[in-house]
Structure 1
């Protein structure tokens, strides 16, 4: 594995990167368009008036809005509660409350529900016995429920008040009512019919099993509570107007769906533009803008802060070794403990989002005029250099926090400590800039919240090696556009002139804001450029002796024998910076495919997994992990990858394996007959003699000729003396000659052994392979091995009736009817003779859609037909550089 700091030539890679980044750039573009529309709608609005309206909001109104928010989030948690009942896996209410609230509080605010919300659910529910299908069903149930609820409620309210969207819909009220009623009937009637008949609702290629009438009624209550209380939160904050709640509900639902369809995180800009455009002309726009700002704070930031504070308190409580209180409260906390423990894994994502928000607040504060008497007094008391310097420092600190949030989300230890220092510095600057106690307290409290999570940051990577993905690039573009919006909105009364840049005076706030935006943008842009230029480029070359030695050392000290496939020589090896973990992978087509998960201790494995995904995305490739074990699923979710079940691995527990008892009668009979026929098992440790390798070569050639096959690669070994000399070999002899053999992958821990090549001659007795497995497992048991892997049963265990996923339907169909080109059912039946535990294996890919292109690339690697054009292009580039 080499690192190449020079950019790769050719337009193919550039086009691939553009295609990968298009969805994010589209979202950023829609965000900018939303800001433009919002700026035009607020053309007559003064920023000072908006702030005055916010400060004038009665505390009683804020309290009612907080109560409505709490009721809405309880309804959101009800989605999970009813979904668990729907799939027949109910859990204790405290666990559902803790896990569900965390998922929604973090997911709604961060705007990455597919990552954060799904990761929380997986960690909580999988720890309590639910499998991947159950977690996927809960997530899908919640998403579909919200989509159906928002649509039906919005259309229903529009049918009652068809003129609610007259400002944005060029249709007559009668036409709007007719279309709304038709939409409600089109959605509600098939759902009700399917519920009564316990059938399925088909949506194109997909079908969803409808809940029973009782579950459907509960779901309707939760849906109405979610949408209704969320709308009530904003309705309470709105100024007095002629809109009834039903009419306002239609506006709210339409704006919410517009934000969802825009794919802009949180619908920021799009939601506000729709709401302002649809409000009656007699309503004060300043008051509406103030209400929308308060709504964002109360409905999104308050639950986020409460969830983060609860999680930090739990971390501090546990690290202090305190005991739970007795009584009902203590039992409730103990019951919710799995929920809190599960959320620990996404703490870096949540803390990074908090730091990003702090950076935005610092940057925005540097360009806003003072809005309090204390701030205005500070401008009069402090000398001009303090005022100018604090504004520029606030902008730089904000940009620094935005850049550091990337590293915090990637669990970088240096980013953690730097963010801690910068936030404390920002608190001091906030006091100097304008005696801004709110901002100073927030930053100081945020720094304190970081401390209990120190153990979650263990990556010793350089900050400048953080690769910017298309999502981060789009975010930076959106941030700069947002700064521009705030600048022009806050200082719209000041006409632009070139002289503004050089005007220095205490009351010259617009020039100061211009300079702060310029400096902040420069810091942000230069930081992003440094990340792009300094991130090491990984070239997927064949491993050298140093890579193989490191992989052999790491794999041998672990408990996963399949990690030994890194030593086949046909895969690149990416070793972590500390040399304790690695990822083995190969490039094919537009995919970089790792075999299995990262190998090594958990902290180092996570580090190298992030590095692999970063390197692949930098090259415009699809990162994927092939045949991932269930233990690696949390890392895959943290990487933002989607899971697709590939089949199940058959693992025999050797501690309870024997030929005794009625359940083993057939196996015992076959083993005894094989011994009578003269079969015997020999175990040979490496290195192997030349005569033995020659004899094994004869068997291998005969097997390949009989199967009309050629040597495979990537996920299996091949007959090669260097490869076989790394492992013990089990041979079956008949009449003194070898008729079958298998090489066995082992580790120093003897936790588990695995089998690789299994080859026999056609003249071997019919029971030879069954005898090989049986005798081998008995010997491994005597040697002290705890488990033995019989390998994968491809496409086995897929449950489309539970997951309703297109990929599972496709895979299950091939499994049942694909016997003409591969005997999937026969392979599973043979391995089932040994009574194994069936453990799921997954493909982790960037998209939730069926990963057909990634699987096609993997098939080329396994078939030994890697992408020659990519290799030739890399070779051409290196010759050009030379």
Structure 2
């Protein structure tokens, strides 16, 4: 029977989107409130006020912003001191700045900023748990600091939020004093008693009082300087800075709680509502607009320039060796950053076509410019903006064609901007984006078509949100423009509103059609088990590459995904919402990264979670680039064979045991196909007898089962005693002849003493003599792994997998047994999404490993699911 998993219900498929839907709902609520607050505001007036802001005020706001981000570096510095880790100060500054610059702009700062730090700090040896502790420490510190500072300011100025809170000033002051007292008291108790808090698998101990004080200082500086940036840009009022600090702290906390990216709409609503009624709303809107540009977009732009310079230095080879891992990690951030930049460029280009001229020069140029140029520039800008939103998805997936299309779209956008009222500012913005994108070409290597994978549901939500924002911009910009008596498609030199409507129609039509095309495009993957022809096709790929573990693809119990060229493959099975790929892709080295990306894309498009199970350390940079987290599940014992022998004092015990086995009558032989007709029945009898002594039945997926059709195609090592076979192991080899391993290893119940040690010793001697470089003894669980209640999630995952996926069916003393051969212990991981439920993944893997035998419709192959060569 084949694996016929029931398709997930609609509610089950929509569940991962609920956080996005809630965030959009909160954003819509904030936008609706802001709409009412800005009902009397004219966009032209807002732009005029923004342009009239004195240069010295802008300069002071920029300096306050840079100082605030410098204070943010202190979060990471103190967090590293807290976990007792040390990194070079330039690396700390880089990781902190990029983390906050991208996290503040993209949103979900804890996740986005944490991912940035993971890529940079892990390059210098920090573990995922270390980086999670840094992010958690910084978040908790900010929470305590913002609470104490914000409520402290409210205690001093209880009237600050009088327009928003239905409470008397006295009650606001009393509640604020209580909150500050409780927060400070809790910190004092934690510091004195040395308490600790465990959040999931992360345990946070109380920091030292000096470190706690330093962190509070960094938080205070951060909030004070960020508030100062906005305070400088707002119009003068009788609201003192101390009172405004309470307003700002409340606005920031509201934005954080809402999870809206950057708190857009939420922060503005709180600030506008809290300011005195005597302050002109248009001036406040201008200040908030400049604040967004200076505090959010300017640092993000600087981070993009920094990445572009890093890519240029890497391309020229001018990178210090000691910083090479860090620069490669920065390169891993490029697709996300360039995708956001292209998304912002497209939205900016489209919105600019919806806004009428806001300066006298632009209005005069519009009158002097030929009508066809104006109309054509507006329509072209809208089309290009919509195209950029689509291209951004390809950049996120590292598609090479998307990079070329992005360059062309930005260049065309510059031309369209100049044609549309000689908009030099817009052209300059797009020109800077083009220069930033130019040196990053090496990061976009996937040859897949831009339209190959459907948009994920999350991306569709983002695009729909942008369309709503465009519609809001259109109506806000033209709410006072009379056009009821004009046909909206009628060209007119002095009617910017109909032109904006046409541009909006074109842009939204392109977006809507693109979403429809991508969403309705049929899937390219088949989840049927392979046919005999496909087995032979993958056999050629397995034999042509050096990793012997790829032989597990030949059992026929896993689905196969081939590269476009057919020179590479990936094996996987589906269980519930988990798409579980076994090991890394194998085949042509130049295609492996693209194949892994394609598998992840297909899983996400199906609203499933991609899992790369039992992968080594060699491709850790790839998993990090794909945004996956690594959970260590065990270690593989690999014996170097270049100098392996039984000579010397270090091999005395092994040599003695081997000589004793020879004297007792054991002999070793490697049999090669074709085999004698009576061999398989003899091995089957040994296998059946061996299984009777073990709990459970045949396993699969990552370990083979006794299948004559599979075993008859590869060499088999046998041990004889008095002329009869007492043990056997089928060998995994490839034509590269670099590394060898085994799959099944079975013996009779009354085997002679030292049989297993003799078998492995002979295998090592045999392949050393054949010129192989390595021999894998298989995997072993981490020492002390236990699925006890309260253990870390990763520990329970490893324990569950190894309990059901063991090949020797007994892990007691397994590591000690393999240590006799002096192997190199190499880590083995599971690569999963950081947001994935690890226990759910473990359950799916265990279910695949432990299920009953299944027969492939095209062969006698057994299916199952878990591989640990041992």
Same fold (TM over 0.5): yes
- Secondary structure of residue in 2 paired with 1:742: strand
* CA deviation after TM superposition for structure 1 residue 32, in Å: 2.3
Are the equivalent residues in 1 in contact too, given 2:398–2:446 (CA < 8 A)? yes
**Residue 132 (structure 1) aligns with:** 128
Are the equivalent residues in 2 in contact too, given 1:643–1:848 (CA < 8 A)? no
1:530–1:255 CA distance, 2 compared to 1 (3 A): same
Does residue 1:217 correspond to 2:203, yes or no? no
- Secondary structure of residue in 2 paired with 1:634: helix
384, 388, 399: which is aligned to 1:412?
A: 399
Structure 2 counterparts to residues 613-628 of structure 1, below 5 A: 613-628=600-615
Does residue 1:778 correspond to 2:778, yes or no? no
Deviation per CA, 1:553-595: give whole Å up to 9, x if none. Answer: 3333434332222221111111122334322111122322111
In structure 2, C-alpha distance between the alignment counterparts of 1:522 and 1:781, rounded to whole Å: 66
**Residue 743 (structure 1) aligns with:** 730
1:827–1:260 CA distance, 2 compared to 1 (3 A): farther
**Residue 460 (structure 2) aligns with:** 473
Are the equivalent residues in 1 in contact too, given 2:793–2:839 (CA < 8 A)? no
Structure 2 counterparts to residues 697-712 of structure 1, below 5 A: 697-712=684-699
In structure 1, C-alpha distance between the alignment counterparts of 2:853 and 2:106, rounded to whole Å: 39
Deviation per CA, 1:774-830: give whole Å up to 9, x if none. Answer: 332333333333333333334557799xxx995146458979999999865644444
**Residue 35 (structure 2) aligns with:** 39
**Residue 111 (structure 1) aligns with:** 107
- Secondary structure of residue in 2 paired with 1:649: strand
Structure 2 counterparts to residues 53-72 of structure 1, below 5 A: 53-72=49-68
**Residue 789 (structure 1) aligns with:** 776
Does residue 1:159 correspond to 2:155, yes or no? yes
- Secondary structure of residue in 1 paired with 2:220: helix
5, 16, 21: which is aligned to 1:20?
A: 16
Are the equivalent residues in 1 in contact too, given 2:669–2:719 (CA < 8 A)? yes
1:500–1:272 CA distance, 2 compared to 1 (3 A): farther
Are the equivalent residues in 2 in contact too, given 1:643–1:842 (CA < 8 A)? yes
In structure 1, C-alpha distance between the alignment counterparts of 2:231 and 2:377, rounded to whole Å: 38
**Residue 612 (structure 1) aligns with:** 599
Does residue 1:77 correspond to 2:73, yes or no? yes
Are the equivalent residues in 2 in contact too, given 1:152–1:184 (CA < 8 A)? yes
- Secondary structure of residue in 2 paired with 1:538: coil
Segment of structure 1 superposing worse, 15-24 or 652-661: 652-661
**CA RMSD, aligned part only?**
3.3
Are the equivalent residues in 2 in contact too, given 1:587–1:866 (CA < 8 A)? no
In structure 1, C-alpha distance between the alignment counterparts of 2:805 and 2:734, rounded to whole Å: 35
Are the equivalent residues in 2 in contact too, given 1:92–1:335 (CA < 8 A)? no
- Secondary structure of residue in 2 paired with 1:17: helix
Deviation per CA, 1:330-365: give whole Å up to 9, x if none. Answer: xxx776554333211221221121111110111000
Are the equivalent residues in 1 in contact too, given 2:609–2:836 (CA < 8 A)? no
**Residue 90 (structure 1) aligns with:** 86
1:273–1:798 CA distance, 2 compared to 1 (3 A): farther
793, 812, 816: which is aligned to 1:807?
A: 793
1:496–1:506 CA distance, 2 compared to 1 (3 A): closer
* CA deviation after TM superposition for structure 1 residue 375, in Å: 1.3
Does residue 1:285 correspond to 2:271, yes or no? no
Are the equivalent residues in 2 in contact too, given 1:798–1:811 (CA < 8 A)? no
Unpaired stretches in structure 2, ≥5 consecutive residues: 856-870
Structure 2 counterparts to residues 420-819 of structure 1, below 5 A: 420-494=407-481, 497=484, 499-534=486-521, 536-600=523-587, 604-655=591-642, 659=646, 664=651, 666-794=653-781, 796=783, 806-808=792-794, 810=796
* CA deviation after TM superposition for structure 1 residue 186, in Å: 4.2
Structure 2 counterparts to residues 165-180 of structure 1, below 5 A: 165-180=161-176
Are the equivalent residues in 1 in contact too, given 2:633–2:798 (CA < 8 A)? no
Deviation per CA, 1:430-453: give whole Å up to 9, x if none. Answer: 011011111112212322322212
1:9–1:435 CA distance, 2 compared to 1 (3 A): farther
In structure 2, C-alpha distance between the alignment counterparts of 1:172 and 1:726, rounded to whole Å: 84
Segment of structure 1 superposing worse, 112-121 or 361-370: 112-121
- Secondary structure of residue in 2 paired with 1:370: coil
* CA deviation after TM superposition for structure 1 residue 609, in Å: 2.1
Normalising by the residue count of structure 2, what TM-score does the alignment of the two structures yield? 0.90
In structure 2, C-alpha distance between the alignment counterparts of 1:852 and 1:867, rounded to whole Å: 25
Structure number with greater CO (CA < 8 Å, separation at least 6) is 1
In structure 1, C-alpha distance between the alignment counterparts of 2:296 and 2:451, rounded to whole Å: 32
- Secondary structure of residue in 2 paired with 1:434: coil
In structure 2, C-alpha distance between the alignment counterparts of 1:865 and 1:308, rounded to whole Å: 53
In structure 2, C-alpha distance between the alignment counterparts of 1:838 and 1:156, rounded to whole Å: 55
1:554–1:383 CA distance, 2 compared to 1 (3 A): same
In structure 2, C-alpha distance between the alignment counterparts of 1:719 and 1:768, rounded to whole Å: 21
1:449–1:672 CA distance, 2 compared to 1 (3 A): same
Deviation per CA, 1:204-227: give whole Å up to 9, x if none. Answer: 996412222333333223322333
**Residue 265 (structure 2) aligns with:** 269
In structure 1, C-alpha distance between the alignment counterparts of 2:204 and 2:842, rounded to whole Å: 26
**Residue 145 (structure 2) aligns with:** 149
* CA deviation after TM superposition for structure 1 residue 410, in Å: 1.1
In structure 2, C-alpha distance between the alignment counterparts of 1:818 and 1:548, rounded to whole Å: 27
**Residue 308 (structure 1) aligns with:** 304
In structure 1, C-alpha distance between the alignment counterparts of 2:5 and 2:583, rounded to whole Å: 30
**Residue 48 (structure 1) aligns with:** 44
**Residue 294 (structure 1) aligns with:** 290
**Residue 399 (structure 1) aligns with:** 386
1:562–1:835 CA distance, 2 compared to 1 (3 A): same
Are the equivalent residues in 2 in contact too, given 1:815–1:825 (CA < 8 A)? no
1:236–1:540 CA distance, 2 compared to 1 (3 A): same
- Secondary structure of residue in 2 paired with 1:597: strand
In structure 1, C-alpha distance between the alignment counterparts of 2:589 and 2:116, rounded to whole Å: 19
1:773–1:437 CA distance, 2 compared to 1 (3 A): same
1:696–1:426 CA distance, 2 compared to 1 (3 A): same
Are the equivalent residues in 1 in contact too, given 2:200–2:792 (CA < 8 A)? no
**Residue 3 (structure 1) aligns with:** none
- Secondary structure of residue in 1 paired with 2:162: coil
Give the aligned length: 849
Unpaired stretches in structure 1, ≥5 consecutive residues: 1-7, 325-332, 869-882
Are the equivalent residues in 2 in contact too, given 1:626–1:844 (CA < 8 A)? yes
- Secondary structure of residue in 2 paired with 1:539: coil
* CA deviation after TM superposition for structure 1 residue 427, in Å: 0.2
Are the equivalent residues in 2 in contact too, given 1:54–1:294 (CA < 8 A)? yes
Segment of structure 1 superposing worse, 57-66 or 859-868: 859-868
Are the equivalent residues in 1 in contact too, given 2:698–2:853 (CA < 8 A)? no
- Secondary structure of residue in 1 paired with 2:612: strand
In structure 2, C-alpha distance between the alignment counterparts of 1:687 and 1:247, rounded to whole Å: 88
In structure 1, C-alpha distance between the alignment counterparts of 2:803 and 2:590, rounded to whole Å: 43
Deviation per CA, 1:345-390: give whole Å up to 9, x if none. Answer: 2212211211111101110000001112331122110122222222
